[in-house]
Structure 1
Amino acid sequence: MKISPARTVTGEVKLSGDKSISHRAAIFAALAEGNTVIENFSRSEDCTATLECLIKMDVSISREGNRVKITGVGKSGLKKPAMALDCGNSGTTMRLLAGVLAGQVFESELFGDESLSKRPMERIAIPLREMGAIVETADGKPPIRIAGKNPLAAINYSLPVASAQLKSAILLAGLNCDGITRVYDPVSAEPVSSSRNHSELMFSYLGAEIAENVSESGGEFSYDVSIDGNSRLTAKDLWVPSDISSSAFFIVAASMLKGSDVTIGNVGLNPTRAAFINELNNFGAKITFRNARTVNNEKIADLRVEYSEALLSRSEP
């Protein structure tokens, strides 16, 4: 096999749905009341693991390509799985479902492959225990065994590190709390969450009573988000933006290869993840936004990326 380097990149690029948003779309749809159709769902093994875990808890799910149909069971309607839930290699699946299972009145177990079994999970267990669930780990690692409780106790919790997965797990548990649960991000230099806020946007879109707050002191920003345990999720169809992380390869290639001109469709431009595009433009890249719009609270646009001699000259030693 002979591999030749590309001399130019042109045309239109269609990318798979964003993995982070796909995980959340599936879980939130399962906890909602009503039927949801998710378009452009990620084809990744990680997101498939999330679907399989939900099916084992008696959620009705059908899938055709990148379209997924889910019949929600409500926030407290999951059924005890007959076996342990296999999260594969997906830390997102394990951590988010731990938050969900903390508020279900049955015992469950989450496990993963050899790689996932080495990842830290005690950081997830600590706040869930504080809320009243019984959570056991294997020396801080998977498997995670959970005896859920409903209602859980609402808490105020400061994240030790910026982690969208940890924040989301606490908020998902907060759906089944008696009262308001509040999560504080670490301070940041920017007036946005220091971790991805896809969960907050989706909670709001589906009707949860959720509130975000940003305050400034001495040039640093503090962010917190709260959710009311009385919230219920109302099913709505969801459309998953194209994965901005995957778009980075095409953006860099088109910017650096002479004569390149690429359009990447439907890219998610969530402010907590898209800063690198603005930075590239500041350095001379030619990235323009077309058809900018908001879909289920997520900002998206088609990106046109052209070769930039100015950017290339800035990158040379």
Structure 2
Amino acid sequence: MTHAPASASRPLTVGRPAAPLSGVIRVPGDKSISHRALMFAALARGETTIYHLLEGEDVLRTAAAMRALGAQVEQQGEVWVVSGPGVGQLSEPDDVLDMGNSGTAARLLSGILASHGIASVMTGDASLRRRPMKRVTDPLAATGATFIAREGGRLPLAIRGQANPPALDYRLPVASAQVKSAVLLAGLNATGTTRVEEPVPTRDHTENMLRYFGATVEVESTPEGGRIIRLEGRPDLVAPGEGLFVPADPSSAAFPLVAALLVPGSAITLTDVGLNPLRTGLFTTLMEMGAQVDVVEKASSGGELVGDLHVRASTLQGVEVPAARAPSMIDEYPVLAVAAAHAHGVSRFCGLEELRVKESDRLSATVAMLRENGVRAEIEGDDLVVYGTGGAIPGGGLVTTHMDHRLAMSASVMGLVARQPVRIDDTAFIDTSFPGYLALMNQLGAGFAQ
């Protein structure tokens, strides 16, 4: 599988829909959980059946990588079946592992590769090759693994792993679920207890899934509001007999959700959305802004809460979001910025330094998106300040997406409510996280011209 060449970009112009949005949809499976499902299934004994796996380009890259490392990974109709060689038993790949646009896959896989006695090389697309890896490779170097990369630890990255790595004890300087997960994944093949301390809680899908596959994981809170995670090394991971159900991705649900809140008269339902408390910061924030979102919880699966969201068009007010909430909604800030631009009053989103190292410098790109469409927005330190237009976003601008899928989708939501149509330079990369996004939004009445 290869990415479309730059000449195959897909620009899009979005205007107001002819009618309110309505309908019931299930967005694709959670991207974070899908990556981990493939990796853990490859490290477990037995055959794991995965339901609702996200089939976006990012996750397909992970599937291809695990297959190259010796796991059997097959799509059988609507499910995926994975049989792995087990912890410590991955084999050396014959070729370079191309992770495409996926920073999550590259960073998590680094932890696995560092703790296996094999040599490997990872690369990615132009966007991923610009993203820093040192914050992952620096702590992983304590395993005894060797890393050779470009300046700043950027891909391509060659790794000579350590077959008998020591357990790590690492305190994250900045909250990052990807760095935490990479260290924990390295700890799977280590003797002893791996300890990771994070300054504030980040998404805990890795911890939940480790337990689901049979690992011993203990979590405790610190007096400063952070968490300490301990993992017993070399667990006997076993494929769950009932399989693994991937919830609908709350980060993907954010786009139709915000669109329905902003387009007058809209009412939609989003089914089976993941409600992990460390992923629902956007829902909490929108409700503080006055959003009418009713949450109906359902049975949990694989340690993850799920539920249906009933969303109605609402009048929103500006809000201040504390930095401590940022990790629970880090991917949703661009579309939240669109909601803030449409709201009444000023919004301030604090502590967004992590946005500078996403698919793009997402903080600067979000401000550029708003300004290009007549919305006043400022960066003050690591804070984003958006001055609401009271439902009167001027629009009419061209949004440069920098190969960032979430910027492209956020711009499309803005186009649905702006006074003048919003132009987007490229939507091709939306498929990395949300395959079929335009078509699914059109089921609700968005009227995107494809």
TM-score w.r.t. structure 2 length? 0.65
- 2:115·2:143 contact (CA, 8 Å) conserved in 1? no
Of the three residues 178, 183, 196, the one matched with 1:165 is: 178
Of the three residues 282, 292, 298, the one matched with 2:288 is: 282
- 1:118·1:142 contact (CA, 8 Å) conserved in 2? yes
Return the alpha-carbon distance in structure 2 between the equivalents of residues 249 and 111 of structure 1: 30
Gaps of at least 5 residues in structure 2 are 1-11, 318-341, 346-388, 391-450
1:1-317 aligned within 5 A: 4-6=15-17, 7-64=19-76, 66-139=78-151, 140-186=153-199, 188=200, 193=201, 195-216=202-223, 220-236=224-240, 237-309=243-315, 314=344, 317=390
Question: Match of 1:145, SS?
Answer: strand
Cα offset for 1:254? 1.8
Cα offset for 1:76? 1.2
Residue by residue over 1:76-101, the C-alpha shift from the partner in whole angstroms, topping out at 9 and shown as x without a partner, is 12111111211112111111111001
Partner residue of 2:322? none
- 1:125·1:136 contact (CA, 8 Å) conserved in 2? no
Return the alpha-carbon distance in structure 2 between the equivalents of residues 155 and 310 of structure 1: 46
The amino acid of 1:198's aligned partner reads H
The amino acid of 2:118's aligned partner reads F
Cα offset for 1:116? 1.4
The amino acid of 1:112's aligned partner reads G
Cα offset for 1:223? 0.8
More helix by share: 2
Aligned residues: 308
CA change 1:161–1:309 in 2 (3 A) is closer
Cα offset for 1:64? 4.0
Cα offset for 1:156? 1.0
CA change 1:248–1:81 in 2 (3 A) is same
Aligned CA RMSD, in angstroms, stands at 1.9
Return the alpha-carbon distance in structure 2 between the equivalents of residues 4 and 163 of structure 1: 36
Return the alpha-carbon distance in structure 2 between the equivalents of residues 252 and 95 of structure 1: 30
- 2:297·2:305 contact (CA, 8 Å) conserved in 1? no
Question: Match of 2:29, SS?
Answer: coil
Residue by residue over 1:257-280, the C-alpha shift from the partner in whole angstroms, topping out at 9 and shown as x without a partner, is 332211101101111110221222
CA change 1:113–1:2 in 2 (3 A) is closer
Greater CA deviation, 152-161 or 132-141? 132-141
Question: Match of 2:95, SS?
Answer: coil
